[in-house]
Structure 1
């Protein structure tokens, strides 16, 4: 492409090279030819007038792809499928007459899309495995470290850093399970004919049983365990929406992770890795912005919106098919997968470099520690025969009164020590942060042992990411 032409930032900056290559014109042309070869081979096996020599010729010329010649023919025919057929026929004349036999354009486009989308979804699955590993390692490392909890982004009862990370992890695990489920059930279109009736193949092969076997064999040769049972001219666009749903949910997970990381960067409790020569601001060289978390949020935001395009395309198809799906799918699906891949690459890099700023974590916790014992005091008071609502009012009154003091937490604690309702309690011992996190450390370890490690064992063969961020 000319340097003067627009290049998508998803390709130039964010997505991995392998994902970008899946949606390139050469990969698409190869997938088309793979579908055509599967059809010709299955037809030959079932007695159609396709010879073994013609199938061999198709295989021998499968990689003889001249995209410039295809473009020239398409400029005349205004039909991409016919352009590819004519271009292939020029280098494989002995099989030109049996290419695409009994098929419609959507045989090749939709089966090829199934190949491309399934491969892309496998790439997303592997990135998710890498993210789950990184989150699990961070959750385990920080399982016991108390930190201030936040509700409404206001100080609340303490949690642990690891518990907070484990919540991100649980979302990612659900995404991994959902993506794997989509992969396990992923169908191709198969051989269905012009409007899904398989009439042309029935005419070609002569029996319903042979047509059904053709459909099965085409899917098998393309690497699918099944084809859709029913189709119109296209494969069901509902399946497109199901794929997009899974990636939109991934956007929810990654957006939440990124926003939480940004909020904790604001409080100073969590830091993302910062390169030795990294520049935080062109005007304020002291800045250390949460750039990766911000980029993650930006990319994750695209996924639910692209899902909307795909869902609307599925909902607005007319009867057996209308061509208004074509341009939207050509744009939305590559962008959806590229954005998902780019977001996951950033997420893995971000999580791998996240560190708790321990002095800040401890300082924030210490500042609010006296207030944090109120939950324990309420429970202990009721166990000792008190009225929960009356105890709550005593605590609320002292908390409100302490807000204007130079050291509000200390003023609150001192007031409780003077109040006969709580004076008998070992208040300063009860305010130990390690005693206020409840079962959080245990919850994290049980989740890691019971759910995450068995899940990751299934994906031991998935390599770590070898495609570092470009920017």
Structure 2
């Protein structure tokens, strides 16, 4: 929604025209001509211009394209990370006949997400060029023109292409819940440390002391092959305040997802 609003704003910022002569003073053209032409083109006459409309308008457009593209980059990057062999929690669709690697037939690389990430870099680079086009010599040299002929069509076409590529990925994304559970299990219960910390604080412990106790137990789990719950149950300082049943209650994954439907609703997901 934020990106849609940004694109709408950028379109309005670019919806200006100028027919006010070589230096913007209407020396050889009546302002009514500018008004007439702009109306025919669904544009608004710019309030003040030199030989050109000031390039901060174009810079805002290019920065908007870069931000929107970077949002797609963010999504694609997360998919790439979650598609790593040792993680494999999600995967972009892999179609029949697709090749992951010319040398290794087993590969299922997230090639489309990688392509989106690469194009996002171009959008960001082009935005920098647009910013460099704002401070022109004596109100207008021609250095901006050659750059704009490249960056504006390249960025608009690239972003359109990125949208066309990421939509089917999101629609047909492969999701592996069992691997997600396996990833959580690799922590051997450490993901529940905050819950145990808060339970100790409810028993009257100061946060600093409760944190020290839980951190010490957590470090044992990192250094050993034991389970976090097991370490907590044999720690005298923890057992002094929490019963085994209370410790068990801290390890309920549903506690962390009890409000997730509200989050989905806010995102427009039913």
TM-score > 0.5 by shorter chain:
yes
Match of 1:446 in 2: 266
Q: Which has the higher contact order (CA 8 A, sep 6+)?
A: 1
Residue 2 (structure 2) pairs with residue 182 (structure 1):
no
2 CA distance for matches of 1:392 and 1:438?
Answer: 25
Indicate if the aligned counterparts of 2:116 and 2:162 stay in contact, CA closer than 8 A: yes
Matches within 5 A, 1:174-323: 174-201=2-29, 211-224=30-43, 226-266=44-84, 267-315=87-135, 317-323=136-142
Unaligned runs of 5+ in 1: 1-172, 202-210, 454-471
CA distance in 1, matches of 2:171, 2:92: 9
CA apart distance, 1:369: 5.6
Q: Is residue 190–residue 218 contact of structure 1 (8 Å, CA) maintained in 2?
A: no
Is residue 20–residue 31 contact of structure 2 (8 Å, CA) maintained in 1? no
In structure 2, the gaps of 5 or more residues are none
Please list, as runs of the form range in 1=range in 2, the aligned pairs for 1:3-402 lying within 5 A after superposition: 173-201=1-29, 211-224=30-43, 226-266=44-84, 267-315=87-135, 317-368=136-187, 370-402=189-221
In 1: Cα distance, 2:249 partner to 2:185 partner: 13
Match of 1:426 in 2: 246
Q: Partners in 2 of 1:367 and 1:432 — Cα distance?
A: 16
Do the aligned residues in 2 keep the contact of 1:378 with 1:391 (CA within 8 Å)?
yes
Report if the CA contact (8 A) 1:373-1:431 is conserved.
yes
Give the whole-Å Cα distance in 1 for the aligned partners of 2:3 and 2:230.
48
Structure with the larger helix share:
1
The Cα RMSD (Å) is 2.0
Larger radius of gyration: 1
Q: Alpha carbons of 1:438 and 1:378: their partners in 2 closer, same or farther (altered >3 Å)?
A: farther
1:445-471 CA-partner distances (Å, limit 9, x unpaired): 13427xxx9xxxxxxxxxxxxxxxxxx
1:375–1:438 Cα change, 3 Å: farther
Contact 2:13–2:57 (Cα < 8 Å) also in 1: no
Provide the C-alpha distance between the structure 2 equivalents of 1:320 and 1:435, rounded to a whole number of angstroms: 61
Q: TM-score, normalised by structure 1?
A: 0.53
